Amino acid sequence: MSWASTFPLRRVRLGRTRAAVPPPAPPARPAIPEAPTPAGPPPQPRLQDWVGVLAMVFGLFMAIMDVQIVTSSLTQIQGGLSATSDEISWVQTAYLIADVVMVPLSGSLSRLLSTRVLFVSATLGFTAASALCATATTLSQMILYRAMQGFCGGAITPSVFPVVYTKFRMPQLASVMVMISLILNLSSTLGPTIGGFLTDTFSWHWLFLVNIVPGILVAAVVWVTIDIDRPNLSMLRYFDFAGLVLMAVFLGCLEYALEEGPRWDWLSDNTILTAVIVSVVASVLFFWRVLTYHQPIVDLHAFLNRNFALGSFYTFIVGTGLYGATYVIPLYLAQVRGFSAMQIGETVVVTGLAQMALSPFSTYIARTVDLRLMLGFGMGLFAIAMYMTACLTNQADFNELLVPQILRGTALMCCYLPANLIALGTMPSDKLKNAAGLYNLTRDLGGALGLAAISTVLNTRLHFHWNRLIENINPARPAVQQFLDAQANRLDGVVSGDSTRAAFKLLAQLVQREALVLTYNDVLMLLGVAFAIGLLMMPLVGRPQSRMAH
């Protein structure tokens, strides 16, 4: 019998536009007018505008936080719904699939319904779905309600940016974007901590009940204060329902494969293989549809704008780093250090505090420094922070993680604001709604792809480090035998059964712990490499003009 079989390994869970066929009468199809947009520079923002945008930003906070708020309470939800450990992950997956489908669709819906109607409807739908989640008694009910919640939440985030870029110009624009970037980062960081507190103090139902009153208030305030465009119901005549179905199938199957693939060993599972095949076929048909239909559900021509394409690429990387680091570091603290949800929250909150401390200065930096320099500095600083973090040991805690987390928070504040301004700051007003949906989609896909890659690397590298470590775990070595004898003597009379076997089990746990530490260091280093690659591509970015002017 090999020594590898003695120590069982525990897996970590972790173009061209085609002319439309004219209707019979009249012979030529009239052009569909765009919703009117204000001409010339907008007036100075009023108090009403600030109140409305602040309400929208709070709605943004709720929508993004609810992606992560259940992660620290899945065990309690599992017990309440009588679900298995494999099934309960759908509480998270259902939200993410619906969110990813809705985000790019929001551009067309905002033109059809108007930004105000879409945001208020989405917020009320999100609030109602939250209340339904709290009443769920079975897993199937929870999955349905979480999908409804994610679908409505996916319309909230992109709707904020057209309002912000319409109502504000520099220097107010930079201040608002700093606030939004702070909300995006804090909501992802604080979600598990707030969720753990609510569950420990009350029950898991309050993860959803807490959204009801704020959701109603946000919807009411936005309805009264925000009105930047009018509905364009004529779009219904040529609405691309086929493109909508293809996009939903393409993105839904892709998100499912990314979320569930690492847990089921990717293409070796028939369900994952089927999802990938369906996603690939649907993606080909979807791209053909949007590039040939006269009124596509999503206009991909926005990516012909070089700065938008590069800004979206950078927000993809930022999404990978934001969600990846927020996932890996708490996982290390829980599995290696044995921290509780509250202790994890107290440790990782440093990143959010660093962002809050830097936010007043980042506005000044964005106005006085070339945005490309600011973004390059953030990308490089994040890579350095990951390199410093990738020196974890089995004893690393708050003190060892303090400086790297401060640097990571500083880097994210220096990345998000310029990436957003570079991507959306040069887009024409009539293209902004569609571009905002695509921009947010790239961030979400960056997070989804990043987490899927991290889960795969965690399992692969854990096996690698485990096999390398057990090569040296041989009782024939004096040091190993001395450890086993010492532990057997210590456990004799303390544990029931064979104390020698208990000593072997303890040794296996220590090997597992060290393999986990080395694996987490590998993942953190890979995140740093991704940001270093982004830094090397900075010379391709053109200097933003347009909305960066006063």
pLDDT of residue 235: 77
pLDDT of residue 10: 47
**b vs e for 454-475, b when ≥16 Cβ sit within 10 Å of the residue's Cβ?**
bbebbbebbeebbeebbeebee
Residue 1 in this model has a pLDDT that exceeds 60: no
Q: Of 401, 301, 288, which Cα lies nearest the Cα of 353? A: 401
Q: Which two tokens stand for residue 492?
A: 């004799």
Per the model's pLDDT, the better-predicted residue between 482 and 249 turns out to be: 249
How far apart CA 319 and CA 507 sit, in angstroms, is 38
The pLDDT tens digits for 117-151 are 999 999 999 999 999 999 998 988 998 999 999 89
Least confident range from 187-191, 199-203, 276-280, 486-490: namely 187-191
Residue 9 in this model has a pLDDT that exceeds 60: no
Share of the chain above pLDDT 70, in %: 88
Per the model's pLDDT, the better-predicted residue between 279 and 18 turns out to be: 279
Share of the chain above pLDDT 90, in %: 19
Q: Which two tokens stand for residue 432?
A: 């902004």
The pLDDT tens digits for 256-311 are 888 778 777 788 888 899 999 999 999 999 899 888 888 887 778 888 888 888 88
Q: Which two tokens stand for residue 278?
A: 């369906």
Least confident range from 225-234, 299-308, 474-483: namely 474-483
> pTM of this prediction?
0.75
pLDDT of residue 38: 42
Residue 400 in this model has a pLDDT that exceeds 70: yes
Q: Which two tokens stand for residue 454?
A: 């991290």
In this prediction, residues 22-28 reach a mean pLDDT of 44
How far apart CA 96 and CA 90 sit, in angstroms, is 9
What are the angstrom distances between the C-alpha of 32 and each of 113, 156, 186, 234, 294?
14, 26, 41, 7, 11
